């Protein structure tokens, strides 16, 4: 007599898996990685390699020796965290600082909460913010693009957002500041100073197209963040174009695209329902611009995402999907 497997339905599966999703995001990041290597050369290669390898290594060590869980260090999530962490650091950051960032990302932001799926805050961003607070000087000196063979001793400068913030504080009008900025085409192609992986707008948008095409993410979070930023900065700029830069400048500079496409859409730390995703996206957009325009820091995407990460459990609790056949009250 044959022995059959007996289990409840469904008897087929989509074939989707955590590694496939995670490595899918990694593939979506490759165009941006290539562009960043083109601009920042050896520095980009070193920090990316150190970050990815340390994240995977720390994940393995924590699971094996501290949590004694089955090891999932190769499921792609640690590698993805490593890649994203490298993307939001300056390409000339000393390698040991990168390793400390990876330790905080994996050790504190991810593993203390119970590993993949249980963390409240985006691990890569927690790592970045830790480094930002611990090593403020190193974390705010960015290498100029085009120095292929220079790593830690590359010539540094200020980012467009930094220049904007500084000059506005000195009461310079926006039109005058913009005259000294790279052209919009250069901003779009990524030829500017900034965190290693955030500069190339077109490559990041290419990644977005890939993520949407492969249905790895839905459009709701990135689109609601970007639309909010456009509307908010558009209104400010219409009100006083000499005091507030245009939406296009905000879109193309800083970590907005990297954050909106790859950081805010992290499954674990973003809401579960469409309505929730839109609220979360609007929140990130508003907080980012509040910090950029009225705050002490030139850039606010990282804090905006982490703040909204903190709201995600609350959003999940109170924002429910549209139920089929819901009886309408009133």
Out of 115, 143, 245, 247, name the contact with other proteins by CB under 8 A. 115
146: alpha, beta or left, given left = phi > 0 and alpha = psi -120 to 50?
Answer: left
Residue linked to tokens 């109170």: 318
Q: Is the CB of residue 128 less than 8 Å from the CB of residue 83?
A: no
- Cβ closest to other proteins, residue 156 vs residue 273: 273
Out of 20, 64, 238, 243, name the contact with other proteins by CB under 8 A. 20
Q: Does 323 bind other proteins (CB under 8 A)?
A: yes
Whole-number minimum distance, CB 178 to other proteins, in Å?
A: 40
Task: Give the integer Cα–Cα distance in Å for 144 and 182.
Answer: 12
Task: Give the integer Cα–Cα distance in Å for 277 and 281.
Answer: 6
Out of 6, 133, 169, 296, name the contact with other proteins by CB under 8 A. 6
- Cβ closest to other proteins, residue 296 vs residue 328: 328
91: alpha, beta or left, given left = phi > 0 and alpha = psi -120 to 50?
Answer: alpha
Q: Does 155 bind other proteins (CB under 8 A)?
A: no
Q: Does 320 bind other proteins (CB under 8 A)?
A: yes
Q: Is the CB of residue 292 less than 8 Å from the CB of residue 251?
A: no
- Cβ closest to other proteins, residue 118 vs residue 240: 118
Out of 96, 218, 235, 310, name the contact with other proteins by CB under 8 A. 218
Please choose, out of 90-98, 109-117, 125-133, 224-232, the segment that lies near other proteins by the rule CB under 8 A.
109-117
Please choose, out of 50-58, 115-123, 193-201, 289-297, the segment that lies near other proteins by the rule CB under 8 A.
115-123
Please choose, out of 14-22, 40-48, 237-245, 291-299, the segment that lies near other proteins by the rule CB under 8 A.
14-22
Q: Is the CB of residue 44 less than 8 Å from the CB of residue 36?
A: yes
- Cβ closest to other proteins, residue 17 vs residue 134: 17
Distances (CA, A) of 32 to 83, 204, 262: 11, 6, 11
Start-to-end CA distance of the chain, whole Å, equals 62
| Residues in region 254-313 near other proteins by CB under 8 A | 267-274
Whole-number minimum distance, CB 4 to other proteins, in Å?
A: 5
Whole-number minimum distance, CB 200 to other proteins, in Å?
A: 27
Q: Does 134 bind other proteins (CB under 8 A)?
A: no
Q: Does 329 bind other proteins (CB under 8 A)?
A: no
Q: Is the CB of residue 203 less than 8 Å from the CB of residue 97?
A: no
Residues that bind other proteins (CB under 8 A): 1-2, 4-14, 16-18, 20-21, 72, 75, 77, 115-118, 218, 267-274, 316, 320-327
């Amino acid at each position: 007599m044959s022995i059959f497997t007996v289990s409840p339905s469904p008897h087929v599966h989509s074939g989707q898996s955590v590694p496939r999703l995670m490595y899918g995001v990694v593939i979506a990041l490759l165009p941006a990685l290539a562009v960043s290597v083109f601009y920042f050369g050896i520095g980009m290669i070193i920090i990316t390699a150190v970050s990815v390898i340390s994240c995977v290594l720390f994940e393995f060590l924590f699971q094996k020796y501290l949590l004694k869980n089955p090891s999932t260090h190769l499921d792609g999530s640690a590698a993805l965290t490593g890649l994203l962490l490298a993307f939001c650091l300056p390409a000339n950051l000393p390698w040991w600082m990168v390793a400390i960032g990876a330790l905080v990302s994996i050790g504190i932001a991810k593993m203390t909460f119970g590993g993949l799926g249980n963390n409240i805050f985006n691990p890569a961003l927690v790592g970045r913010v830790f480094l930002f607070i611990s090593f403020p000087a190193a974390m705010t000196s960015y290498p100029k693009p085009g120095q292929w063979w220079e790593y830690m001793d590359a010539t540094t400068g200020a980012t467009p957002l930094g220049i904007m913030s500084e000059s506005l504080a000195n009461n310079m009008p926006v039109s005058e500041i913009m005259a000294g900025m790279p052209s919009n085409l250069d901003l779009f192609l990524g030829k500017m100073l900034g965190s290693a992986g955030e500069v190339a707008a077109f490559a990041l948008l290419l990644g977005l197209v890939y993520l949407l095409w492969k249905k790895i993410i839905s459009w709701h979070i990135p689109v609601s963040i970007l639309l909010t930023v456009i509307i908010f900065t558009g209104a400010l700029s219409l009100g006083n174009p000499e005091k507030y830069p245009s939406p296009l400048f905000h879109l193309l500079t800083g970590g907005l695209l990297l954050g909106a496409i790859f950081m805010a859409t992290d499954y674990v730390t973003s809401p579960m329902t469409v309505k929730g995703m839109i609220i979360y996206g609007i929140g990130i957009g508003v907080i980012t611009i509040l910090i950029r325009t009225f705050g002490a820091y030139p850039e606010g995407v990282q804090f905006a995402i982490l703040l909204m990460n903190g709201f995600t459990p609350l959003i999940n609790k109170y924002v429910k999907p549209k139920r089929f056949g819901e009886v309408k009250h009133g």
